[in-house]
Amino acid sequence: MIPQYILAFESSCDDTSVAILDTEYNVIVNLISSQPEHIEFGGILPEMASRLHLRHILTLTKKALDISELNLSDISAIAVSINPGLIGSLIVGLAFAKSLAWSLSLPLVTVNHMLAHIFANCIEHKEIKPPFLAMVVSGGHTELVQFDTLVSFQIVGKTLDDAAGESFDKTAKLLGLGFPGGPIIDDLAKNGNPDFIRFPRALPQKDNFNFSYSGLKTAIRTWLVNQKPEILNDKLPDIAASVQQAIIEPLVNKSVLWARQHKIPYILLAGGVAANSALRKQVTQSAAKYGIKVFYPSTAFCMDNAAMVGAAAIPKFLVGDYAPLTVNVSSKKGTRTV
């Protein structure tokens, strides 16, 4: 069979990425151009991000075609992420994708960025088949999403306030550590005792699959003001491990319980917090007791990239779910069909 290639674009935040993959989830090329220009400002400047996407997207596309030794005439569809994200940044990717789709008379497949993070798993684990439960854990999202087919899903649990990644970041700030806090706490916690302090775990009821992290932030702040300043030097790994445990324990318990109760054989981790080593280990161990298998993308595919956008576009492309050229970007949060 002649392979069908999808040319995919990702520009929702500060990484411009262009990828080409076939409809069997084989990645031919996946190029990412990040934007170090934001570092001196201590955060992402949205207007600068859009302008830098504009500067990089054409060069990156030409490079992707060169490396893959493919021509535009070999491409069967154009895929692009259109929400959630920085509006100006998303517009650059969508406008570029639309122009290509129109000029080449190719179908345009639009993709939700969170859905793309979930489908990053399918690139390296081709055995994944629905039904599966996705745990979406990033700086802005904490969701449990049950997939009955590759194109139909429902959100079965979500955070009522802060996201898991946000909790890592806010705690790191309270502890005077850098940003983003997740990887720093993850590293420190490797040498710490997770039972040093028991911070609260919200919504422990067995029939509640939602999450809440705002109380944890307050508990940590209250605990810190009552400590001697030296404790931050002496016990930092223990504090980090205790905080980390309070964030990940509800994620592990609730995802495994839902999968058990609904006889779902696979749990897929997705988003930046899916890189957390303790989360990966604990959810894998806990799920294994019930014959449930856990997947997570390698670190390269955990970060924003266009290969995951192309992967999420495959099922939509195969069922002919194309977007009209009038489609627009949106900042609506959450895992959605677009």
Q: Which of residues 175-214 bind ligand KG4 (CB under 6 A)?
A: 180-183, 186
- CA torsion 239→164→273→198, rounded to 10°? 30
Under the binding rule (CB under 6 A), the answer on residue 90 touching ligand KG4 is no
Which one, 129 or 173, has the nearer CB to ligand KG4? 173
Under the binding rule (CB under 6 A), the answer on residue 271 touching ligand KG4 is yes
Q: Which does 310 bind (CB under 5 to 8 A by kind): ligand KG4, Zn ion, none?
A: none
Q: Which stretch binds ligand KG4 (CB under 6 A): 30-38, 90-98, 99-107, 132-140?
A: 132-140
Tokens standing for residue 12: 């929702």
CB of 136 to ligand KG4, least distance (A): 9
Which one, 168 or 301, has the nearer CB to ligand KG4? 168
Q: Which does 265 bind (CB under 5 to 8 A by kind): Zn ion, ligand KG4, none?
A: none
Q: Which does 183 bind (CB under 5 to 8 A by kind): ligand KG4, Zn ion, none?
A: ligand KG4
Which one, 169 or 304, has the nearer CB to Zn ion? 304
Under the binding rule (CB under 6 A), the answer on residue 93 touching ligand KG4 is no
Under the binding rule (CB under 6 A), the answer on residue 250 touching ligand KG4 is no
Helices (H), 191-276: 214-225, 231-234, 236-261
Which one, 199 or 317, has the nearer CB to ligand KG4? 199
Q: Kindly give, in sequence order, each residue whose CB lies less than 8 Å from that of residue 200, ignoring residues fewer than 6 positions away.
A: 215, 216, 219, 246
Q: Which does 139 bind (CB under 5 to 8 A by kind): Zn ion, ligand KG4, none?
A: ligand KG4
As a whole number of Å, the CA-based R_g of the chain is 21
Closest CA to 107 of 77, 130, 138, 69: 77
- Integer angstrom CA distances of residue 95 from 21, 27, 39, 99, 113: 21, 24, 27, 6, 16
Determine how β-strand 5-10 pairs with β-strand 152-158.
Answer: unpaired
Closest CA to 195 of 242, 227, 234: 242
Q: Which does 93 bind (CB under 5 to 8 A by kind): Zn ion, ligand KG4, none?
A: none
Under the binding rule (CB under 6 A), the answer on residue 169 touching ligand KG4 is yes
CB of 287 within 8 A of CB of 133?
no
Does 107 sit behind a cis peptide bond, omega within 30 degrees of 0 on the bond before it? no
Selected binder of ligand KG4 within 275, 287, 294, 308 (CB under 6 A): 275
List residues near Zn ion by CB under 5 A: 304
CB of 277 to ligand KG4, least distance (A): 7
CB of 268 within 8 A of CB of 153?
no
Closest CA to 48 of 94, 101, 5, 86: 86
The mark string for 12-31 relative to ligand KG4 (x by CB under 6 A, - otherwise) is -x------------------
Q: Is 172 helix (H, G, I), strand (E, B) or coil?
A: helix
Which one, 98 or 113, has the nearer CB to ligand KG4? 113
Closest CA to 134 of 119, 124, 123, 151: 119
Q: Which residues bind ligand KG4 (CB under 6 A)?
A: 13, 138-140, 165, 168-169, 180-183, 186, 271-273, 275-276, 303
